[in-house]
Every structure is written in C-alpha cells, then in structure tokens.
Chains A and B, each alone.
Chain A
C-alpha cells in the first residue's frame, strides 16, 4: 500500500521544516514525513544505520532534498542515491531556494526527478509543498521494493 511509505524531507533550517510540515498538515501528510537535518542523516536513513538502525525496512516514497545542507550537501546525497542500484529508483525532488542555472543543470545531470524552487510567498510555498506531498506521497506509484535488497538487509 502506497500510503504506508514515508516522505523523507531533508531540511536543515528548522523554520523551513516547520513551515513545510505545516503545509503537509493541511493534507494530513505530516505524520508520514520523516525529517532529516542534514545530508548525512538522509544517508543514515536510507542505509538504515546510525540513528535509523532500527527503522522499518523499505525505501521512502520520495526524498525532498534541500541543496544547501551541513555535513553532506544535497547534490552529494543525490549523487550517492543515483549511483546506488538499490536506491536509484527512489524519486528525488530538489526543494531549494536556488534558481541558479548551474544548480538546475547539475541536479538534473545527476538524475534528480524534479526541481522545485521554494517560493518566497508563503501561500505559494504552501501550495508547492502540499502538491509535492500529494503527488509523490499519494498519486505517484512508487517503484516496487527490490526483493534482493530487503533480503540482504533483513538479518
């Protein structure tokens, strides 16, 4: 069931995170959101290690990735995800303040599935995050779990 899959939100700024969660809440998606505060945490989650060692198996429905983050930045996380055969199917949406052409080009080159610029205006931000949550968390059919990965990680 798709609804069971979490939405992984990578956001280092607590206010942005709070606003994003507030947006998700409008569609009752907030409890599906798993918040990571930097790129290292995202990778910990995906590889079930560190803080997330004991989490339930399975990939998230989508990763909403900020570009500029402490420790491991968004592009680095994206590169890791897209170069790992088991993680590659996970949809990755860049959610960032940057409209720089360089960032856009690099993100898509690394295999980002979408690129969303955070609008300054809160209502538009609300709308964007909500739509992202609805689309990737409810409408979009995520890729099936690779059996071998689940088997390899389960013990």
Chain B
C-alpha cells in the first residue's frame, strides 16, 4: 500500500504549467501529447519559458519533498510499531507464564492445602485486568489482536472462576472432593484455549512484524530511487533553464551590438545629410541670388534700350530664380522637420489655433471667412512642429477657399478613444478628386496648376512628416468643388500624466 508511484514526479512536473492537459490523453499516446505541448512551448516568450522551467523545478522539489516526507513518516511509524510488537510479544509470553504459574500453584494447593501456593493465583487475579489493558494499549484499535485480547480476557476470567470454585471447595470439604480436579486441572479447557490463543497471537504479531520489515525496506529503497531520479530530473531541468537564459543573453547581446552598430551608421548618415543640406542651404542659394540680381541690374541698366519682350524675359528669369529659392527653402524646412530633435510636451491646441488666427488676421482683412472652431483636446508633442502642422492646414484651407464668396473653415476633433485624438480642418473650397488623395501628402505634389493656386507643394508633406514623427496618421477626404477635410491623429494627453 505504501509503494510510491515512481512516475509521479515526472507526470506532475509535466502537467504543472499546463493544467489543462488531461491525464487520460497522456496515457493514450505520448507522442501526440508532446507535439502540441512542444509547439506551445516554442511560441512562449523567453520569460515565460524560464518561468515555466523554474516552475517545473519548484514543482519537482515539492513532489520529492512530499513523497520523502511521507516515506519518512512511514518508516518512523513502522519503527514505532516494531517496538510495540516486540513488547507485545514479550508481555504476551509473560502473561502466558503468569497463567501457567497460577494454574500450577492452584493445583499444588489443591493437593497440599498449603495456601502459599496460591500466591501466583492471587497475583493473576489481581493483575489480569492490568495485563490485558497494557496489552490492549500495545495494539491498534481496529486490529484482530484486540478481538483476541477480549477472548483471552474471557478465557483468563473463566480459568480464574473455575479455579476459585475448586479452591473454595477444597477449603470447605478437603482434598478428597477435589482429588480429580487436582490431577487433571479444573480449567483445563479454558487454559488450553488460552494457550492456543496466545500462541496464535504471538504468531500473528511476528508475522505482522516481518511484513513491516519488508515494507520498510521497500519504502527505503523506493525513496532512494525516487530521490535519485528526482535529482537527475531537476538537474536536467536546471540545465535546460540555464541553457535558455544563456542563449537569451547571447542573443540579446548580439542584438544590442547590432543596434549599436546601426545607430553609429545612422548617426554618420545623418551627419552627412546635415552637411549636405547645409551646403544646399548656403551654396545653392548664392547663384540663384546672382541670377536674379544680375537680371534685375540688367533690366535697370537697359531700361531705355530694351523692348518689352526683352524686359518680360528678364522678368521671367528673375521669377524663376526666386521660385527656385523658395523651393530650396521649403525643402530645407522639410528636411529639418525630419531630423530636428523633438521637444515633447503637452500642447494646448485651442491656444495654438487662437494664436495662429491672431497672426493671420491682417492677411485675411479682405476675405470673408466664417470660422467654426470646436473645443480641442490636449495632445502630447512638439509645440513648434504642431504649430507648423496647423499653419499648413489652415493656410491650405484659406488658399483653396479663395474662389469662394463665403468661405467656411471648420476645425474640430473626433472622438477616437482615450489614447488618440483625431483633429480635422474642413473647408468648402475647391476640394480635390479622391482618386488623387494618396498624392496629396507627397513632396512637391500638387493637384492644381501653378497659375490657379500658388505654392510649392511641400506643406502637406511637412504635415505628414511631423505627424508621423509623433506616431500619428494623416488622411484626407474631399470631392471636386465640394471642399476638403484633412485629418491628423495625435497621441492624447493621459489624465494622470
């Protein structure tokens, strides 16, 4: 009954992190049980795997401890019971001797009438209940020995009763009346039964004792086997966890090195780009200035001799040079928006829009624009960059409603969850064909001819670049002649932050 299940730690260990795995399936087919399990394991993150590994080790230690504790208890209990059994057998023998002594003494008394022979009989009479109680204490409550003891007690009482009757008869009527009794012994039947019972009890106890010895040996052996297997399993598990961790560390170190290397490359590339845009800024502008300058000087110097056609040519040269200067400036701004360091903070869009409109009021004196501006949420971002976004969006709205007698510009926000704010600028201007919506945010992409609406086509590209750097998105809706709506999404300020 105490045979420990040697496979137990293995089973428990495997089941621990996957409690859903049914036992029955496991016994049906090991291969089909392990395959999905292994796949699940492969999918887990390194932290989960290490945790699972340590979980297994912990579970293994728990199981081994529990079984060792139980085996130890069994051994201690068996030892205890052995001691009691030995004592039981010994005392049972002593009791048997006492019964024999009483019988012998009583028979001598019957023959001789010498009361001193009755000492053993009296002792048994007085002590019998005590002997039985003590023997009873040495046995288990539910054991057959208890039943035997009750029988033995009755037999002893019967013997004592019969002997007393004989003693009393001898005392009253003398030896003759009890001669027969003295020869055969009065309580012969009871005594024989008692002796047989005693022998049987002794045999039973010895047998139980022998069985316990076997049991203890088995338990000890299985404990040793269990501990050995458990220790081996734990060692393998720990080695696996160690391998996992070491593998992960190596991987991480390699990734960090790679990132570092790429960071350096990126930094070098960025420096190069900066130098490039610097020289663009400085060197490209000078010849343009010269073209315009000398064309202007020529126009002035030859004001009298040049005809209108020649003057118009000079005018075109100047305008082209100026436009190219504008393009270079825009490109530089666009490039700067891409690499400029971002200063993140909380941006109050309501204040930002109000300030922008204040700045624009002089330029819009001869325009009739009705503004609808909703309460806008606070967002996180670079205030200067976001200002650029709304400068561009509002400037576009103003520009493309230029042909409308009643321009309407609406600025508002959409509810889009607690993490993101979606803001839009809507106008009733000339709009655009949705087929070209994807071109709107490209660099130098224009949907209108230069003589319809001025501009270099960099504004929305800047908007997209800035919003992307904020982790947001840009998109637009519109229809030809029916206005346009430009949307930007931005991370919202968390209430706690």
CB pair B282 A97 closer than 8 Å? yes
CB pair B293 A19 closer than 8 Å? yes
Taking the complex as formed, is A153 at the interface, i.e. its CB lies under 8 A from any CB of chain B? Answer: no
Q: In A31-87, which residues have CB < 8 Å from any B CB?
A: 67-68
Question: Once the chains are docked, how many angstroms separate the CA of A119 from the CA of B286?
Answer: 9
Contacts of B281 in A (CB 8 A): 97-100
**A2-10, A108-116, A120-128, A136-144: which lies at the interface:** A120-128
Taking the complex as formed, is B458 at the interface, i.e. its CB lies under 8 A from any CB of chain A? Answer: no
Contacts of A96 in B (CB 8 A): 282
How many of A's residues come within 8 Å of B, CB to CB? 21
**How does the 8 Å CB contact mask read for B239-280 relative to A, with 1 for contact and 0 for none?**
000000000000000000000000000000000000000100
**Residue among B286, B293, B297, B336 with the highest chain A CB neighbour number at 10 A:** B293
Contacts of A15 in B (CB 8 A): 286, 290, 293-294
Nearest chain A CB to B109 CB, angstrom units: 132
Taking the complex as formed, is B322 at the interface, i.e. its CB lies under 8 A from any CB of chain A? Answer: yes
Contacts of A126 in B (CB 8 A): 296
Question: Once the chains are docked, how many angstroms separate the CA of A19 from the CA of B293?
Answer: 7
CB pair B286 A97 closer than 8 Å? yes
Smallest CB-CB separation from A121: which chain B residue? B322
Nearest chain B CB to A113 CB, angstrom units: 21
CB pair B292 A98 closer than 8 Å? no
Question: Once the chains are docked, how many angstroms separate the CA of A138 from the CA of B296?
Answer: 26
Looking at the complex, which one of A22, A98, A120 makes contact with B325 (CB distance below 8 Å)?
A120
**Residue among A19, A98, A100, A120 with the highest chain B CB neighbour number at 10 A:** A120
**How does the 8 Å CB contact mask read for B284-319 relative to A, with 1 for contact and 0 for none?**
011011101111110000000000000000000010
Question: Once the chains are docked, how many angstroms separate the CA of A67 from the CA of B324?
Answer: 22
Taking the complex as formed, is A130 at the interface, i.e. its CB lies under 8 A from any CB of chain B? Answer: no
Question: Once the chains are docked, how many angstroms separate the CA of A13 from the CA of B297?
Answer: 17
Contacts of A16 in B (CB 8 A): 286, 289-290
Assuming the A-B contacts A16-B290, A19-B290, A99-B332, are A122 and B295 also in contact, with contact meaning beta carbons closer than 8 angstroms in the complex? yes
CB pair A118 B289 closer than 8 Å? yes
Question: Once the chains are docked, how many angstroms separate the CA of A33 from the CA of B296?
Answer: 22
CB pair B293 A98 closer than 8 Å? no
Looking at the complex, which one of B285, B295, B318 makes contact with A118 (CB distance below 8 Å)?
B285
Nearest chain B CB to A65 CB, angstrom units: 14
Question: Once the chains are docked, how many angstroms separate the CA of A15 from the CA of B324?
Answer: 19
Question: Once the chains are docked, how many angstroms separate the CA of A126 from the CA of B332?
Answer: 24
Contacts of B282 in A (CB 8 A): 67-68, 96-98
Question: Once the chains are docked, how many angstroms separate the CA of A67 from the CA of B321?
Answer: 23
CB pair A125 B293 closer than 8 Å? yes
Contacts of A67 in B (CB 8 A): 282
Contacts of B326 in A (CB 8 A): 120
Nearest chain B CB to A18 CB, angstrom units: 8
Q: Is the interface of B mostly helix, strand, loop or mixed?
A: helix
Assuming the A-B contacts A100-B278, A118-B285, are A123 and B296 also in contact, with contact meaning beta carbons closer than 8 angstroms in the complex? yes
**Residue among A67, A97, A119, A125 with the highest chain B CB neighbour number at 10 A:** A97
CB pair A121 B292 closer than 8 Å? yes
CB pair B297 A120 closer than 8 Å? no
CB pair B293 A122 closer than 8 Å? yes
Nearest chain A CB to B323 CB, angstrom units: 9
Question: Once the chains are docked, how many angstroms separate the CA of A102 from the CA of B354?
Answer: 30
Nearest chain A CB to B119 CB, angstrom units: 124
Looking at the complex, which one of B289, B329, B332 makes contact with A122 (CB distance below 8 Å)?
B289
CB pair B286 A13 closer than 8 Å? yes
Question: Once the chains are docked, how many angstroms separate the CA of A97 from the CA of B328?
Answer: 12
Looking at the complex, which one of B278, B283, B285, B332 makes contact with A120 (CB distance below 8 Å)?
B285
Nearest chain B CB to A16 CB, angstrom units: 6
CB pair A122 B286 closer than 8 Å? no
Nearest chain A CB to B28 CB, angstrom units: 73
**How does the 8 Å CB contact mask read for B320-358 relative to A, with 1 for contact and 0 for none?**
011011101100100010000000000000000000000
Contacts of B288 in A (CB 8 A): 120
Question: Once the chains are docked, how many angstroms separate the CA of A15 from the CA of B328?
Answer: 20
Smallest CB-CB separation from A16: which chain B residue? B286
Question: Once the chains are docked, how many angstroms separate the CA of A101 from the CA of B278?
Answer: 10
Question: Once the chains are docked, how many angstroms separate the CA of A16 from the CA of B282?
Answer: 13
Question: Once the chains are docked, how many angstroms separate the CA of A97 from the CA of B325?
Answer: 11
CB pair A122 B278 closer than 8 Å? no
Assuming the A-B contacts A96-B282, A97-B282, A118-B289, are A22 and B297 also in contact, with contact meaning beta carbons closer than 8 angstroms in the complex? yes
A-B contact pairs, 7 of them (CB 8 A): A15-B294, A16-B290, A19-B289, A22-B297, A97-B282, A97-B286, A126-B296
A-B CB proximity, top 9 nearest: A120-B325, A122-B293, A122-B292, A122-B296, A19-B293, A97-B285, A97-B282, A15-B290, A121-B322
List A residues at the B interface (Cβ < 8 Å): 13, 15-16, 19, 22, 67-68, 96-101, 118-123, 125-126
List B residues at the A interface (Cβ < 8 Å): 278, 281-283, 285-286, 288-290, 292-297, 318, 321-322, 324-326, 328-329, 332, 336
Instruction: Name 13 extra pairs, CB < 8 A, besides A16-B290, A119-B289.
Output: A15-B286, A16-B286, A16-B289, A19-B293, A68-B282, A97-B281, A97-B289, A120-B288, A120-B289, A120-B328, A122-B295, A123-B296, A125-B289
